[in-house]
Amino acid sequence: DAGITQSPRHKVTETGTPVTLRCHQTENHRYMYWYRQDPGHGLRLIHYSYGVKDTDKGEVSDGYSVSRSKTEDFLLTLESATSSQTSVYFCAITPREGEPLHFGNGTRLTVT
């Protein structure tokens, strides 16, 4: 299994609070991705990174920001959590375009 650790695994937070999710990899892969998974929508890309300090938006980036200061860590921040951001968040990595994506086990976030 690819060495991907997501933390926390579960989190409950209140509307309006900031939340940061962490993805840590031990594979030294260049590309890292944050997805959310919701019933009826499948997985949708939030943000991705193609190197340290190099990030770009996905299709559902509003309300989210990311940072990558080291190859192994990719952080996803919900600046002010809303109930619509209740979801399961997955991190994925790949060494280069055209190679398989490998996923972490996800973070289940509930915003009350």
Partner 1 sequence: KQEVTQIPAALSVPEGENLVLNCSFTDSAIYNLQWFRQDPGKGLTSLLLIQSSQREQTSGRLNASLDKSSGRSTLYIAASQPGDSATYLCAVGGNQFYFGTGTSLTVIP
Residue closer to partner 1 (CB basis): 12 or 16? 12
Residue closer to partner 1 (CB basis): 15 or 48? 48
β-bridge partners, 55: 49
Residue closer to partner 1 (CB basis): 30 or 44? 44
SS (H, E, C) the chain: CCCEEEECCEEEECCCCCEEEEEEECCCCCEEEEEEEECCCEEEEEEEEEECCEEEECCCCCCEEEEEEECCEEEEEECCCCHHHCEEEEEEEECCCCCCCEECCCEEEEEC
Residues 46-105 that bind partner 1 (CB under 8 A): 48, 58-59, 90, 92, 97-105
Residue closer to partner 1 (CB basis): 18 or 68? 68
Residues 22-41 that bind partner 1 (CB under 8 A): 33, 35, 40-41
What number of chain residues touch partner 1 (CB under 8 A)?
A: 23
Question: Which residues sit at the interface with partner 1, rule CB under 8 A?
Answer: 33, 35, 40-45, 48, 58-59, 90, 92, 97-106
